[in-house]
Amino acid sequence: MDTREALGSWIDGPKAAAEKMGADFGHRGERLGLPKEGSGSLAGPGRRLGALFVDGWLCSLVAYGLLSHGDRAGANLWTTPLFYVVTVLLLATAGTTVGKRLFGLRIVRLDGRRATIPQVLLRTLLLCLVVPAAVWDRDGRGLHDKAVGTVEIRI
């Protein structure tokens, strides 16, 4: 076996190389006790990013039209705080936001119950900081979810 195969190529990554050598990582979410597919399974990155885009776009639209009265610079100032407040309120009450609902997603604790208000507050703050949400583990959970013990699942 050559070094390239053992380490994986820069395109495939080390996980693909390990799987070629016989390692079994299971499906995403298996370590958390989540099903492979369907309701209750771990949400994929495409759905998560799509929902985030919809939520951000809606908050940006509201900030531009209602809060800044058409001033683009004012809208930029209001978008992130508005996103934080709306996301916290919707996740704390319904467990989902408008974008998450459109993409069939929900935020829950690892035991399957609704996330608590402190969990939602911290998770959303870390999401607004961007970097924790951009770093994922092998299950696809961002650091913002890992820090508060939540997971984004399909409904």
Q: What is the pLDDT of residues 82-130, one digit of tens each?
A: 999 999 999 999 999 999 999 999 999 999 899 999 999 999 999 999 9
The whole-number pLDDT of residue 132 equals 87
- Domain ranges in the chain are 31-154
Q: Are 28 and 140 in contact (CB under 8 A)?
A: yes
Pull the structure tokens for residue 90: 């919707």
Give the residue with greater pLDDT, 14 vs 130.
130
Share the mean pLDDT of the chain.
84
DSSP letter (8 states) at residue 109: E
Question: Residues 16, 17, 23, CA angle at the centre, nearest 5°?
Answer: 85
Q: Name the band, by pLDDT with cuts 50, 70 and 90, for residue 3.
A: low
CA 1 to chain centre: 38
In which element (H, E) is residue 122 found?
A: helix 117-128
Q: Model's pTM, two decimal places? A: 0.78
Asked if the model's pLDDT at residue 10 lies above 80, the reply is no
Q: What integer is the mean pLDDT of 147-152? A: 94
Q: Name the band, by pLDDT with cuts 50, 70 and 90, for residue 35.
A: confident
d(CA 21, CA 6): 8
Q: What integer is the mean pLDDT of 67-94? A: 86
In which element (H, E) is residue 106 found?
A: strand 105-109
Asked if the model's pLDDT at residue 7 lies above 60, the reply is no
Q: Is 152 helix (H, G, I), strand (E, B) or coil?
A: strand
Pull the structure tokens for residue 31: 């370590």
The whole-number pLDDT of residue 58 equals 95
In terms of DSSP H, where are the helices of 35-116?
A: 45-62, 72-93, 98-102
d(CA 125, CA 146): 13
